[in-house]
Amino acid sequence: MTKIETINNPFVMNHPTSWCPGCGNFSILESINETLNDLGLTPQEVLMVSGIGQAAKLPHYIHAHGLNSLHGRALPVVMGAHAANHNLRIILTSGDGDTYGEGGNHFIHGIRRNMDIVHIVHDNQIYGLTKGQGSPTTAFGQKTRLQVDGMRPDPLNPVALAISMDCSFVARSFSGDPEHLKSMIKAAMAHKGYALIDVLQPCISFNEVNTFKWYKERVYKLDPSFDATDRVKAFEKALEFGDEGIPMGILYKNEKATFIERIAHIDEPLVYKKRTPDDVQKLLEQFD
Amino acid sequence: MTKIETINNPFVMNHPTSWCPGCGNFSILESINETLNDLGLTPQEVLMVSGIGQAAKLPHYIHAHGLNSLHGRALPVVMGAHAANHNLRIILTSGDGDTYGEGGNHFIHGIRRNMDIVHIVHDNQIYGLTKGQGSPTTAFGQKTRLQVDGMRPDPLNPVALAISMDCSFVARSFSGDPEHLKSMIKAAMAHKGYALIDVLQPCISFNEVNTFKWYKERVYKLDPSFDATDRVKAFEKALEFGDEGIPMGILYKNEKATFIERIAHIDEPLVYKKRTPDDVQKLLEQFD
Amino acid sequence: MKKTIMIAGAAGEGINTSELFLERMLKREGFFVLSYKNYMSRVRGGFNYATITLGTEMVNSCEDRADIIIALNQEALDKSPMMLKKEGFILASDQLKTDAVEAHKSILWIEQEPLKAVSSSKNAFSMCAIGVVLKKLGLEQEALKGMTLKKWSEEVNQTNLAAGTYGFSLLESQIKTEITHQKETILVNGNQAVALGAMASGLGFYSAYPMAPSTGIITYLAAHEREMGLIVEQAEDEIAAIMAAIGAASNGVRAMTGTSGGGFALMVEALGFAAVSEVPLVVCNVQRPGPATGLPTRTEQADLSFVVTASQGEFARIVLAPLTVEDAFYTTFRAFNLAEKYQVPVIILTDQLLADSTQTISKFKTSGLKIERYLMEEVQTHYKRYDFDQTFGGRKYPGLDDQTLVMTDSHVHDEYGNETEDEQMTIKLKHKFIRRIEGIKNELNAPIFYGSESYKTLLICWGSTFGALKDAVNALNDQGESVAMLAFSDVFPIKEDVLKVYLKENVNVINVEGNAFNQFGKILRMETGVTFTKSINKYDGRPFNASYIIEAYRK
Amino acid sequence: MKKTIMIAGAAGEGINTSELFLERMLKREGFFVLSYKNYMSRVRGGFNYATITLGTEMVNSCEDRADIIIALNQEALDKSPMMLKKEGFILASDQLKTDAVEAHKSILWIEQEPLKAVSSSKNAFSMCAIGVVLKKLGLEQEALKGMTLKKWSEEVNQTNLAAGTYGFSLLESQIKTEITHQKETILVNGNQAVALGAMASGLGFYSAYPMAPSTGIITYLAAHEREMGLIVEQAEDEIAAIMAAIGAASNGVRAMTGTSGGGFALMVEALGFAAVSEVPLVVCNVQRPGPATGLPTRTEQADLSFVVTASQGEFARIVLAPLTVEDAFYTTFRAFNLAEKYQVPVIILTDQLLADSTQTISKFKTSGLKIERYLMEEVQTHYKRYDFDQTFGGRKYPGLDDQTLVMTDSHVHDEYGNETEDEQMTIKLKHKFIRRIEGIKNELNAPIFYGSESYKTLLICWGSTFGALKDAVNALNDQGESVAMLAFSDVFPIKEDVLKVYLKENVNVINVEGNAFNQFGKILRMETGVTFTKSINKYDGRPFNASYIIEAYRK
Ligand SMILES: Cc1ncc(C[n+]2csc(CCOP(=O)(O)OP(=O)(O)O)c2C)c(N)n1
Ligand SMILES: Cc1ncc(C[n+]2csc(CCOP(=O)(O)OP(=O)(O)O)c2C)c(N)n1
Ligand code: SF4
Ligand code: SF4
Ligand SMILES: [Mg+2]
Ligand SMILES: [Mg+2]
């Protein structure tokens, strides 16, 4: 990223963030900004949606339409927004707690609908905004500000879960490798259907285990020969996490009809349809 | 099942049910009754918990402790009950809509805790009590009373999902094969940890596709040589559903520390611990 | 003339079909009807019944005793005498005849053998009974034509018709009732009226999770999704349902969700989100008795206090409780304009009584209705989505023009939607909400006054209690009392002086509500200071009827 | 004597540690302190401050202007003059010295060079400032010993202490304040007091989902889980949190959940479940400003109307709003006994002010407290879990004996817990709830009266507004007014005659609440018919203080 690109990028906002200096969130924000600009989109074509959390503040920091909703509820709000106007390019950007914790039910059922959106999860394996409780992805036994004796439940593996739900695009990236991250966002934007990118993101304030260094030492790029269309192989790969290495890249891809394509009668976005009270007259005849 | 067994079984209740004659629920009820009796348990040792739905009425039809909670919320209520008194044998019995729909978030996070309970899902692939809407397991394209043009989202595969969450015991059975079902319940009761049994159950009133015959023609028992400890193989097997056949049996098993075992300081059930107001005096010294 | 026909039996024995045929035939012959379903929360079995009350004028409320009962099984037969009017009679199969009941004079036994000879229908008895009823009411045989369903085969329809014709022949011909044919009427239930009102108002998106007694709304909308160009989505839970509606509404589409108490409870956080993000949202709560699972298929008016204050913090909202099936259409229509004008959540509060009441009413007039959107048309380079000076209107959504950017936010925010913790903005937001509430109070409909102008007693009701109370007021005044009623469809917010013009010295004020806690009475006391001298309540899960009110009044 | 010290800067600059050290040292020296955190919803940066108000008697409320401000950065320094009392002074690093501020007489510049020479601590400035403050307040150097944390290394503690000692040497010796040493006091905040009250009452299970400002409760409990033999569980969401608490409570363990507004909203359906299934449940809602996400780390009293009617249908509940940190302990203790006696949900309503206020108070006395369980000890072969005649007590849970079977149910049910749709049972259930409410009304605490016996004005408050109002009442009476106050900790249900004895002719009634909608005032009007002549409100996200109330009173 050079300064010149930033200056000419209409998505870049000069709004101070409330993130901690050095947080992985900055690089995710920049990667989104750049990718959107590279794709030649205008801010008016893009709707940034989030829940609540540190990650979820992102829509306030980017010059586009924004929808900062409730903790855990970004996916259903996206469903309505997408149904209303599928011409908008929707990027959902939120935290691991938001998406997999409070929002877990919407996550699994959101996948089933295959909306044509990009979902970027800032996975810092911790609750940041609430100051350091374990999240669904925090490792078993890891000590936190709340779990002083260590996490008791097993962690959730979001990419394995998504593959089990036959999510149409499942990728993993790392905020510490912006080039890779941008390539994933670009691929997700190009993908027709629900594209999940779980982005490993160090939280310098509350996660002392999963640091930049910890991730850096473990992530590796998937071999170009990796077949992302084989669901079982993808599942097997998705299980890799931790000291055995963390694969980055597109783990799984299965193109199928999108949410809007599954609704046979919808062509132009709902929001453009003209309606009048008289429209119901034809229905009233059936009540004779 | 012979009459004599029924008469001597303390779990059997002579309460009329509100299920439709011919419904698959009856055989699930009987299988539970018999298994509990076969295991030599008394009604006082057993707590039956459910959400809301046709399946969820089951605790009212069995002579044991009962807890008929809210739609979708049986798993968290079980968490509290189990934490309070882990001497009770808890069987959670509820519908597919209840468990995988409204209760989806509790389902994935419940698995992470590995409570030592048996969870029987009456999977009729439909919402019964509310008269025939599609459930999370209803097939894509299937027409229902609500989805008159067919289901639009992809169905959720509960056993694949559970395996992706590393659920410690994942089985499938069929209400039309009570012997198999009983063997699964018995194995689940013997298993230490969270044991999920997804039971295919024809709903004669609202599901015209997944009938007794439909299931009967497709289910087959897993080969005895099947290795249920291989997570990737289990996942692959779990994906089988429909015309290609539906495997029945224990798909996956991974013994690991249970919810209570993970709490190092808990030995006797919480409910038996004596407490007095003076207990906090030692803490007050820290506020000087 | 007012008569009530009851069809009683188990779920799955054809009560619904018989009711449908009968009410349709009666309506087509020019009668006004009002039918109501009284059913248990189960799919088969149990004891259920439908009542059809018919008259030559608009029927306001159902009766709890019938002139004719069609008893479909033994339990129904056993319970029938208690539910029968003095002069009424029961239709039952002769196979239910026992020594105990044989003596009962008011039973007309339908012989199964000859019936079977003319019809092989599994519903032969109920179809035959319909024939008897039609003859009894003095209709022509022609009317039996309504006894068909398109989705059934020609054969089934024929054998049903044969049973009906046989029944029609069983009685001597009866004296014909004089009825003026009602051309412009429709036969519609409360859930359908809400759905139709929403569509008339330009509904584009509806998301919901199934829950009795609100499921009828989504079922009706889904059946017409294609025809009307809607998206109707079954959500994974109620939280998703309301959030999706907010997502659609914030992007310019009129959107709604519907549910019943427990589902509404799950929507409470999102309700506050709609309020603070100023997204016009319409939520229909079809009340059933609580708490918790309560009585899933019964009726009660006990969610009012709850919906009036639901969600943390303070904001403007509107609560509308349609009085009748007809009102449900117009009120729902109005709800969307109000929501979009003030950018507030509007809650429509109906109940199982209204939802499951099918009524003959005037065909909805759409020519006078206008969809008003209160949008800001001009392009804005720095759009003040949350301008603190705007009490209503001025809304833009993404895509309304190709320049403006729109920020929708759930925090306390500045006028642009940026989150803020500033004291002054926090205060300004409150003041905006308070101004909105004042605006809304002045815009909402005043209560309907009905009854004796020289009333000594003023009965106050809200929502679906209207019909029964109206019949009770008529009856009481006929019996020499001097009573009047005030019916509120617009129940919140309430003007402090709303009752002032109606309160006179020596006038007793009685609140009539389908709950035990006098919820609306308390709200009126809170907002107006008026205290009630007496309350008439019903809280057994069953709807009010006129005779119950009259009795309670006299006590 | 009453002085306020303010520590201002960005999140992450050590405000919390300085506050902790200072309040602990002051407390140990025998001062009464009350500290409060005023912080933004972010992890680093922004503008935050803590105030510590100290006195030789119990400190009831914080002041909004300080005698001493420790300014940790430029922004803090710039804002300091506005927050300073007339005679106050500011401590700042000489590196912030500019021409503009140099002239300001009330700033004491701390020179960084000599300080760095004695201490390498990254907190050297704030530690040094603490030393200055202690000297200024006339304490002995000994007091500096409190400037250590066990979790820090010896080295860090030493270098901090060096900075403190250096600061102590900067001023001339000051006149010593006369203080009577308070032996039996503790220094505790509102969240801790709630947690301690719960544990004193025999809490066994606590489940919650993190949410400011309630997180302190679970954090404190989790830290003592092992020691106290509890199970403390972070749930996947608030619905799970409350359902788990119900699951534990229904199996005989005292259980609780805690949250803030948005989380409480998600618990609403379950609240009704606890009620109808008659499971004793305690829920603490630590209020923050709404609607929706609102102001996550600020304070408001705007959830009262909501929690009083939350959930569909009608049932008995209790709402308690502790007045002070001390009261939070005893009220929480009481909550569990009440919940178990009446088998109803009890909601404890605190707020960020109370949660984040650390106060010197008398050590909690546990000797007089008794855990009362109201259980039924006899074995029952057919246990009537829901005996309609039982207003309180009579509860059994699975495992209490080895014979009885217990059915817990969410529907309308018969006395055994079997679901029913019977009219009479439906009515009986309502009547039981109504009897309970009457019982509860008679058992709850009357409001606390304080002030002039010959009052012309009666100020009514609830919950945490108590402290500021008490100080305001004292000040007003000192200034020659005749005012008194009534403080409600037991806010719902309310007896109709609760105000009767306090209302006299020519007495003005003013409600004082931290909200804009006069929520408690409206509840009082609804329940008692009393209307207010004036209201004093605060709704900018910040707490009341005495001077604000006095000013509003005089307006
Ligand atoms: C209903 C509700 N519950 C809880 C919260 C409090 N809360 C805000 S953000 C958050 C978790 C943040 O974690 P994550 O989603 O991982 O985001 P991060 O801050 O780590 O980026 C929680 C629990 C809330 N705002 N709303
Ligand atoms: C919060 C809430 N939402 C909706 C309902 C209505 N409801 C009751 S049961 C049910 C679904 C039943 O389906 P399933 O769980 O599959 O059970 P089945 O009846 O098929 O056995 C629904 C939606 C409810 N009781 N509570
Ligand atoms: S708390 Fe963690 S995730 Fe949040 S901004 Fe700071 S470093 Fe980033
Ligand atoms: S509706 Fe279906 S699932 Fe329910 S009892 Fe009837 S057949 Fe069984
Ligand atoms: Mg996180
Ligand atoms: Mg089902």
DSSP secondary structure of C216-274: HHHHHHHHTHHHHT-EEEE-SSHHHHHHHHHHHHTTT-EEEEEE-HHHHHHTHHHHHHH
Q: Looking at residue B3, what is its pLDDT?
A: 45
Phi, psi (rounded to 5 degrees) for A61 = -110, 15
Tens of pLDDT, residue by residue over B125-159, are 999 999 999 999 999 999 999 999 999 999 999 99
- Protein residue whose Cα sits closest to atom 10 of ligand 2: B53
For residue B1, pLDDT beyond 50: no
Q: Find, among A72, A132, A78, the residue nearest to A100 by Cα.
A: A72
Per-residue burial over B220-245, b if 16 or more Cβ lie within 10 Å, else e, is eeeeeeeebeebebbbbbbbbbeeee
Nearest atom within ligand 1 for CA of residue A55: 21
Q: Percentages helix, strand, coil for chain C, rounded to the nearest 5?
A: 40, 25, 40
Residue ranges of alpha helices (H) inside B116-211 are 158-164, 178-190
Chain A interface test: which of D47, D236, D238, D295 (most A C-beta within 10 Å): D236
Residue bearing tokens 């993808």: A234
Whether the pTM exceeds 0.90: the reply is: yes
Residue bearing tokens 């519907």: C258
Chain A, window 248-267: residues with a beta carbon less than 8 angstroms from a chain C beta carbon: 263-266
Give contacts of B153 with chain A, Cβ < 8 Å.
109, 112-114, 262
- DSSP per residue, chain A: --HHHHHH-TTB--PPP-SPTT-THHHHHHHHHHHHHHTT--GGGEEEEE-SSSGGGGGGGBSSEEEE--TT-HHHHHHHHHHH-TTSEEEEEEEHIIIIIITHHHHHHHHHHT-S-EEEEEE-SSBTTTTSB--TTSPTT---SS-TT---SPPP-HHHHHHHTT-SEEEEEETT-HHHHHHHHHHHHHSSS-EEEEEE---TTT-SSS-HHHHHHHEEEPPTT--TT-HHHHHHHHT--STT-EEEEEEEE-----TTTTSTT--S-GGG----GGGGHHHHGGG-
Point out which residues pair with D542 in neighbouring strands. none
Positive or negative CA dihedral for A57, D292, C203, C394?
negative
Catalogue all structural domains in chain C, each as residue range(s) with its CATH number. 2-170 (3.40.920.10), 187-362 (3.40.50.970), 448-554 (3.40.50.920)
Give contacts of A279 with chain C, Cβ < 8 Å.
199-200, 228
Closest residue of chain C to D288, computed from CA coordinates: C313
Give contacts of B105 with chain A, Cβ < 8 Å.
102-105
Chain D interface test: which of C293, C419, C424 (most D C-beta within 10 Å): C293
Nearest atom within ligand 3 for CA of residue A201: 3
Q: Which of B10-14, D136-140, D256-260 has the lowest mean pLDDT?
A: D136-140
Point out which residues pair with D33 in neighbouring strands. D54
Tens of pLDDT, residue by residue over A104-120, are 999 999 999 999 999 99
Ligand 4: centre distance to CA B53 (Å): 10
Q: How far apart (Å, rounded) are the C-alpha atoms in residues A200 and A211? A: 10
Q: Find, among B81, B260, B279, the residue nearest to D228 by Cα.
A: B279
- Are B83 and D233 within 8 A, CB to CB? yes
Closest residue of chain D to A20, computed from CA coordinates: D44
- Ligand showing the shortest atom-to-Cα distance for residue B21: 4
Name the residue among D188, D243, D246 with its Cβ closest to that of B287: D188
Please give the structure tokens belonging to residue A72: 């855990």
Instruction: Report, as an integer, the average pLDDT of D495-510.
Output: 95
Average pLDDT of chain D to the nearest whole number: 95
C-alpha distances out from residue A84 to A90, A274, C335, D413, Å? 12, 13, 20, 43
Q: How far apart (Å, rounded) are the C-alpha atoms in residues D196 and D217? A: 9
Residue to mutate (ligand 4; options B205, B210, B211, B212; most atoms within 8 A of CB): B205
User: Who surrounds ion ligand 6 at CB < 5 A?
Assistant: B 95-97, 124, 128
Chain D, window 515-544: residues with a beta carbon less than 8 angstroms from a chain B beta carbon: none
Q: Looking at residue A2, what is its pLDDT?
A: 40
Ligand 2: centre distance to CA B127 (Å): 6
Whether residues B277 and D228 touch (CB distance < 8 A) is answered with: no
Average pLDDT of chain C to the nearest whole number: 95
Q: Looking at residue C354, what is its pLDDT?
A: 98
- Protein residue whose Cα sits closest to atom 3 of ligand 3: A203
First-to-last alpha carbon distance for chain C, in angstroms, is 28
Q: Looking at residue A1, what is its pLDDT?
A: 38
Position D390 confidence tier, pLDDT thresholds 50, 70, 90: very high
Tens of pLDDT, residue by residue over D43-86, are 888 999 999 999 999 999 999 899 999 999 999 999 999 999 98
Q: Looking at residue A3, what is its pLDDT?
A: 46
- Looking at this protein, which amino acid is placed at residue A166? D
Point out which residues pair with A248 in neighbouring strands. A221
Give contacts of B77 with chain C, Cβ < 8 Å.
none
- Looking at this protein, which amino acid is placed at residue C262? G
* 3.90.1310.10, 3.30.360.10, 3.40.50.300, 3.40.50.970: CATH of B2-285: 3.40.50.970
Name the residue among B66, B80, B85 with its Cβ closest to that of D255: B80
For residue B6, pLDDT beyond 80: no
- Residue C274 region by backbone torsions, left for phi larger than 0, else alpha for psi between -120 and 50, else beta: alpha
Cis upstream peptide for C493 (omega within 30°)? yes
What is the SS3 assignment for B178?
Answer: helix
For residue D523, pLDDT beyond 90: yes
- Are C310 and C268 within 8 A, CB to CB? yes
Tens of pLDDT, residue by residue over D17-32, are 999 999 999 998 889 9
Q: Looking at residue A217, what is its pLDDT?
A: 98
Point out which residues pair with B250 in neighbouring strands. B171
For residue A143, pLDDT beyond 90: yes
Instruction: Report, as an integer, the average pLDDT of C176-183.
Output: 69
Tens of pLDDT, residue by residue over C403-443, are 999 999 999 999 999 999 999 999 999 999 999 999 999 99
Tens of pLDDT, residue by residue over C30-47, are 899 999 999 988 888 899
CA-based nearest distance A95→chain D, Å: 14
Nearest atom within ligand 3 for CA of residue A207: 2
Chain A interface test: which of D13, D43, D228, D260 (most A C-beta within 10 Å): D43
Q: Looking at residue D146, what is its pLDDT?
A: 86
Q: Looking at residue D97, what is its pLDDT?
A: 85
Q: How far apart (Å, rounded) are the C-alpha atoms in residues D26 and D470? A: 23
- Looking at this protein, which amino acid is placed at residue C162? A
Cis upstream peptide for C291 (omega within 30°)? yes
C-alpha distances out from residue B111 to B166, D8, D385, Å? 8, 45, 31
- Are C278 and C436 within 8 A, CB to CB? no
Residues with Cβ within 8 Å of residue C70, at least 6 apart in sequence: C5, C6, C7, C8, C18, C90, C91, C126, C129, C130, C133
For residue A5, pLDDT beyond 60: no
The separation between CA C146 and the C-alpha centre of its own chain, rounded to angstroms, equals: 26
Q: Does C16 touch chain B (CB under 8 A)?
A: no
Ligand 2: centre distance to CA B129 (Å): 6
Q: CB of B127 closer than 6 A to ligand 2?
A: yes
Q: How far apart (Å, rounded) are the C-alpha atoms in residues B79 and D399? A: 17
Angle at the Cα of D248 (from D246 to D252), degrees rounded to 5? Answer: 110
The separation between CA D395 and the C-alpha centre of its own chain, rounded to angstroms, equals: 31
Q: Does A244 touch chain B (CB under 8 A)?
A: no
Please give the structure tokens belonging to residue A35: 């990718």
Whether residues A156 and B165 touch (CB distance < 8 A) is answered with: yes
CA-based nearest distance B213→chain C, Å: 22
Closest residue of chain B to D185, computed from CA coordinates: B288
Residues with Cβ within 8 Å of residue D348, at least 6 apart in sequence: D194, D282, D283, D284, D285, D320, D321, D322, D328, D331, D332, D335
Instruction: Report, as an integer, the average pLDDT of D117-130.
Output: 94
Instruction: Report, as an integer, the average pLDDT of D128-146.
Output: 91
Residue D328: Cβ within 10 Å count: 33
Q: CB of D263 closer than 6 A to ligand 1?
A: yes
Chain D, window 365-384: residues with a beta carbon less than 8 angstroms from a chain B beta carbon: 366-367, 369-371
Percentage of chain A modeled with pLDDT above 90: 96
Position D115 confidence tier, pLDDT thresholds 50, 70, 90: very high
Closest residue of chain C to D260, computed from CA coordinates: C312
Q: Does B18 touch chain C (CB under 8 A)?
A: yes
Tens of pLDDT, residue by residue over C515-540, are 999 999 999 999 999 999 999 999 99
Ligand 3: centre distance to CA A176 (Å): 14
Nearest atom within ligand 1 for CA of residue A127: 13
Pairing of strands C66-71, C84-93: parallel
- Protein residue whose Cα sits closest to atom 7 of ligand 3: A203
Q: Find, among D58, D50, D52, the residue nearest to D32 by Cα.
A: D58
Point out which residues pair with D71 in neighbouring strands. D8
Please give the structure tokens belonging to residue D297: 């780390």
Position D103 confidence tier, pLDDT thresholds 50, 70, 90: low
Tens of pLDDT, residue by residue over C38-96, are 998 888 889 999 999 999 999 999 998 999 999 999 999 999 989 999 889 999 999 99
Closest residue of chain A to D294, computed from CA coordinates: A70
What size, in residues, is chain A? Answer: 288
Nearest atom within ligand 1 for CA of residue C269: 1
Q: How far apart (Å, rounded) are the C-alpha atoms in residues C61 and C538? A: 15
- Protein residue whose Cα sits closest to atom 16 of ligand 2: B97
Ligand 6: centre distance to CA B222 (Å): 25
Whether residues D313 and C293 touch (CB distance < 8 A) is answered with: no
Pairing of strands C534-537, C490-492: unpaired
Residues with Cβ within 8 Å of residue D432, at least 6 apart in sequence: D388, D390, D391
Q: What is the CA radius of gyration of chain D?
A: 26
- Ligand showing the shortest atom-to-Cα distance for residue D266: 1
What is the SS3 assignment for D117?
Answer: helix
Tens of pLDDT, residue by residue over A57-69, are 999 999 999 999 9
Instruction: Report, as an integer, the average pLDDT of D119-143.
Output: 92
Instruction: Report, as an integer, the average pLDDT of D207-211.
Output: 98
CB pairs under 8 A between A and B: 87
Q: CB of B210 closer than 6 A to ligand 4?
A: no
What is the SS3 assignment for D292?
Answer: coil
Average pLDDT of chain A to the nearest whole number: 96
Q: Looking at residue C98, what is its pLDDT?
A: 79
Q: Percentages helix, strand, coil for chain D, rounded to the nearest 5?
A: 40, 25, 40
Q: Find, among C42, C296, C75, C74, the residue nearest to B23 by Cα.
A: C42
Tens of pLDDT, residue by residue over C334-367, are 999 999 999 999 999 999 999 999 999 999 999 9
Point out which residues pair with D450 in neighbouring strands. D485
For residue B12, pLDDT beyond 70: yes
